[in-house]
Structure 1
Amino acid sequence: MRLLGPVVKPALLEEDGAARSLLVVSTGLANVGSVVNMCSRLGADVTVSDDTAEVRRAHRLLLPGVGAFDLGMETLARNGLDRALVEVAGSGRPILGICLGMQLLLDRSEEGDRCGLGLVPGVVRRLASESHHGRVRIPHMGWSRVREEGGHPLFDGMDEASRYYFVHSYAADPDDPTDVIGRSTHGAPFVSAVARRNVMGVQFHPEKSHRYGKALLGNFLRMDPCL
């Protein structure tokens, strides 16, 4: 299935000389309209598909999702998308997971029993419901800052005022601390962004985060394969 957005190419992508292609993986577990529209406005040529052949040919992939970890992995496995995503990751092409899509990049989750994609070694853990200030409301819903770590290009041009929109009860806990590129706080600190070579993930929703999310997606669309 191909969705065509308005042909709008701001300076952010015009510098590349051509629109950047993006495949948004369709899992049925997310409303992809907002992220498709935002990437289209950035000048990307966006395709939405659950076809494994198209996924394997894609120049860069975006994996969105909301909901339960096991259901997400079951959906990917049912269509063979899990294997296709691992192949694309191995080729060095950029992949960005959003919300549940980020969690699926890890090995497993405390929420379920199925194995994840294993592209970022680690476990997805439930957010702490207690802090030094008392009980914390779970899920975490609303705007939070992200403290960058390591100067990853996904956050190029961001400042301390940058805020992003979150809706989640679980967060990544990577085995390797160098895979952490952003942390946030909801009662207690948690990992809000990860990257391992060409595979990246953000716990927040850039497509709902206004100019900050738009800038982040623009940075992702400018990334070339890591060969």
Structure 2
Amino acid sequence: MDSSSSPETLPATLAEGVKDSLPIVLSYLPVAFAFGLNATRLGFTPLESVFFSCIIYAGASQFVITTMLAAGSSLWVAALTVMAMDVRHVLYGPSLRSRIIQRLNKPKTAIWAFGLTDEVFAAATARLLSDNRRWSENWMIGIALTSWLSWVAGTVIGAYSGNGLLEGYPAVEAALGFMLPALFLSFLLASFQRKQTLCVTAALLGALAGVTLFSIPAAILAGIVCGCLTALIQAFYQGTTDAS
């Protein structure tokens, strides 16, 4: 049999993408459930909660924007805050494109590009690094679309659970209510482990000053700005040191 037509060298299929998305699905469902539950408790309807997940699809940023809107922030301030939090996504497409050897189909690219979350980007990068000949847009659509559907499904269940489905299970309800602070705490601890202590400290101090002097929305923006500026200054001095 011709080795060029073996399964190991053929482009990955849509079904393989769906299969490879299962670890992402398992991680998305509980967090999406918590988001739907939290959004309805903040005063949003189940339909509005699901709309956030369908259109914004930004993970932790959805918790932030719903909290800010519920606290009375303007839509523009909330939108700009979320855009600042997710600006890294602008780099995902060019990073992948530099490794893709296949010709891209614009309609297919638009589909999987919408679902290019952190986890999907990591899976795609791993596939391209292992064997970029097997990477395909059908595979990307499979992993991105299945991950998005699992996020929406988790939100639907959580949003309607907020209407009393878990009233008979107070322990489960309390545990799910703790998922949001646990999620952000895990991000914070991971940042310290990645030797970004100075940037994280600057972000925390900026957020503390913002919430003390102004408001929660101002604290979020101040934290983002202080952390980014510290990272830029740190990178500049490291570059100067390396050059000398």
TM-score by length of 2: 0.21
Structure holding more strand per residue: 1
TM-score by length of 1: 0.22
Greater relative CO (CA pairs within 8 A, separation 6+)? 2
Structure holding more helix per residue: 2
Q: Which has the larger radius of gyration?
A: 2
